[in-house]
Amino acid sequence: RLTKSGKMLYRKRSQTIERSFADAKQLHGLRYCRFRGREHVQEQALLTAACQNMKKIANHLARLA
């Protein structure tokens, strides 16, 4: 994290990974859990991640067309 390459990677992480979590919270309802229990909360998180991935694929395919 303190080296030159580490700083570059950390900057890239904040643009990609952290943005994904922010989108999940704001756009896909991960700010609050809708269900109780670890299994149900994990299911909600996985479905949210699947939706985000499908959205990325759709945007990528739209750029190709």
Q: What is the pLDDT along the chain (65 residues), one digit of tens a residue?
A: 788 888 888 888 777 777 888 888 888 888 888 889 999 999 999 999 999 999 999 999 999 97
Please tell me the predicted confidence (pLDDT) of residue 58.
96
What gap in Å lies between CA 50 and CA 53, rounded to an integer? 5
Please tell me the predicted confidence (pLDDT) of residue 63.
94
What gap in Å lies between CA 4 and CA 47, rounded to an integer? 37
What gap in Å lies between CA 18 and CA 4, rounded to an integer? 20
Please tell me the predicted confidence (pLDDT) of residue 15.
74
